[in-house]
Amino acid sequence: VKLLDALACQNRKRPPIWIMRQAGRYLPSYKALRARYPLIDLFHNSHLAAEVTLLPLKEMPLDAAILFSDILMVLELFGCTVHYPEGKAPMVELPSGVQIEDLQATAAADKLSYVKQTIQLLKPSLNVPLIGFCGGPFTVASYLIEKNHRDSLSATKKWLFTDPHAFHQLLKKITAASIDYLKMQEEAGVDVIQIFDSWAHVLGPVDFRLCCLDYLQEIMAHLSVPVILFCRGSCLRLAELAALAPAAISFDWQGELEQIAGQMPRSIAIQGNLDPDLLRGEISILEERAKELLLQMQGHPGYIFNLGHGILPDTPVDNVKRLVDLVTNGCVA
Ligand code: CP3
């Protein structure tokens, strides 16, 4: 299978392609389902979640499926309720009378058994690998702490820099819950795990190590399937991320993959890194940039084509199809 071959840095064929947030709002078939069900129902109902996972694969020959869920579902293990107000950042509600410091997790097999069931429903119908996932503990913590989640994460960092002990206690709890959750996903049959530490870029090098890397390493130590690490700012943290020896690192579009490939150990696969905004522009510019990327990474046995971050809402689905077509037909020239 192409994705697994690339993750083993042994792919001799064209690069595999999948797209971060591929089951999202740009898909008309997804929008139709969302008009009928609240988002949280799509996450909680295994049959619906399995159906949504398969939607993009029905329209395009993608080389992987990613489980339809959200990185914040892990907070349900702590008794939290996650709200997704339309057009705004998600909001996390604590169990009544409980402070963040006092949160205690229950077992994933109880509270998140619906995710296990989704994976079990999906596995027999898939002919491509299934990617399971979780959020990086720092990123998940930020959604718990921020009242109004936006670019600076000022409340999260204020907490980190005033009471680091309590902050790290929280990261430890989220790490333990994430390990439990990911092991459940592994047992249910996911083939690959991607960890999204989407907000890692707000930290300087020392705090990135203390708040992100150390916990990512702890999580990885408990897993047996190949792990892809994603964080924004990855181009700046190449050596530190490579030192964790994940199967792959997913890069944002700030760096040039050819140059990154030259600095990476050949045993680590490289995923990325097309600017998601290109998919909302002129098709000729999209094709030009995609071809440049394919050419740069041509023959690299560990290259996985993807975007530098999740696909944006309002992306024309035809542009996505063109991109997938370009990569899967191996048109480099
Ligand atoms: O890739 C996929 O299609 C699988 C599903 C998936 C979702 N969220 C579904 C979702 C995945 C992999 C995620 C990861 C996720 N969720 C991340 C990490 C990746 C990244 O983009 O940085 C983060 C930070 C979240 C938290 C989250 N969930 C936010 C900020 C939002 C609201 C805005 C947004 O990005 O869509 C969500 C809601 C959410 N999660 C939707 C979906 C499909 C929105 C759907 C809708 O409005 O119908």
Q: What is 122-183 written as a DSSP string?
A: HGGG-SS-EEEEEE-HHHHHHHHH-SS--TT-HHHHHHHHH-HHHHHHHHHHHHHHHHHHHH
Nearest to 238 by CA among 220, 256, 211, 215: 256
- Is any ligand 1 atom within 6 A of the Cβ of residue 30? no
Backbone angles phi, psi at 59, to 5 degrees: -95, -25
Give 230's DSSP letter.
E
Average pLDDT over residues 5-32: 96
Q: Could you confirm whether 37 is annotated as catalytic?
A: no
Tokens describing residue 161: 């820099």
Phi-psi category of residue 314: left, alpha or beta, with phi > 0 → left and psi -120 to 50 → alpha? left
- Is any ligand 1 atom within 6 A of the Cβ of residue 145? no
Residue 290 clears pLDDT 80, i.e. is over it: yes
Q: Could you confirm whether 36 is annotated as catalytic?
A: no
Partners of 91 in the beta sheet?
Answer: 83
- Is any ligand 1 atom within 6 A of the Cβ of residue 71? yes
CA 141 – ligand 1 centroid, Å: 16
Question: In the structure, what pLDDT confidence band is assigned to residue 331 with cuts at 50, 70 and 90?
Answer: low
Catalytic residue among 21, 26, 180, 197: 21
Backbone angles phi, psi at 114, to 5 degrees: -65, -30
CA 21 – ligand 1 centroid, Å: 7
pLDDT at site 138: 98
pLDDT at site 147: 86
Q: In the predicted model, what is the mean pLDDT of the chain?
A: 96
Q: Say how many CA atoms lie within 13 Å of 259 toward its Cβ.
A: 7
Probe residue for ligand 1, chosen from 67, 70, 130, 185 as the CB with the greatest number of ligand atoms within 8 Å: 70
Residue written as tokens 């290259």?
A: 303
* Residue 239 burial by Cβ neighbours in a 10 Å radius (0-12, 13-18, 19+): exposed
- Is any ligand 1 atom within 6 A of the Cβ of residue 84? yes
For the CA of 310, the closest atom of ligand 1 is 21
* Residue 296 burial by Cβ neighbours in a 10 Å radius (0-12, 13-18, 19+): middle
C-alpha 137/C-alpha 268 separation (Å) is 23
CA 263 – ligand 1 centroid, Å: 31
C-alpha radius of gyration, the chain, whole number: 19
CA 295 – ligand 1 centroid, Å: 30
Dihedral, CA of residue 193, residue 280, residue 272 and residue 297, to nearest 10 = 140
Q: Could you confirm whether 34 is annotated as catalytic?
A: yes
Helix or strand or coil: residue 196? strand
* Each residue's pLDDT tens digit, 235-269: 999 999 999 999 999 999 999 999 999 999 999 99
CA 130 – ligand 1 centroid, Å: 17
- Is any ligand 1 atom within 6 A of the Cβ of residue 23? yes
- Is any ligand 1 atom within 6 A of the Cβ of residue 310? yes
Q: Could you confirm whether 21 is annotated as catalytic?
A: yes
* Each residue's pLDDT tens digit, 270-280: 999 999 999 99
CA 70 – ligand 1 centroid, Å: 6
Tokens describing residue 316: 């024309």
C-alpha 131/C-alpha 128 separation (Å) is 10
* Residue 30 CB coordination number (10 Å): 20
* Each residue's pLDDT tens digit, 224-236: 999 999 999 999 9
pLDDT-above-90 percentage for the chain:
95
Residue written as tokens 């705004």?
A: 88
* Each residue's pLDDT tens digit, 49-107: 999 999 999 999 999 999 999 999 999 999 999 999 988 999 999 999 999 999 999 99
Residue 119 clears pLDDT 60, i.e. is over it: yes
In what helix (H) or strand (E) does residue 112 lie, and over which residues does it extend?
none
Helix or strand or coil: residue 256? coil
- Is any ligand 1 atom within 6 A of the Cβ of residue 34? yes
Of all protein residues, the one whose alpha carbon is nearest to atom 23 of ligand 1 is 71
| Residue predicted with more confidence, 148 or 202 | 202
Give 100's DSSP letter.
G
For the CA of 23, the closest atom of ligand 1 is 3
Q: Could you confirm whether 30 is annotated as catalytic?
A: no
Helices (H) and strands (E) in the chain, counts: 15, 9
Probe residue for ligand 1, chosen from 19, 21, 53, 74 as the CB with the greatest number of ligand atoms within 8 Å: 21
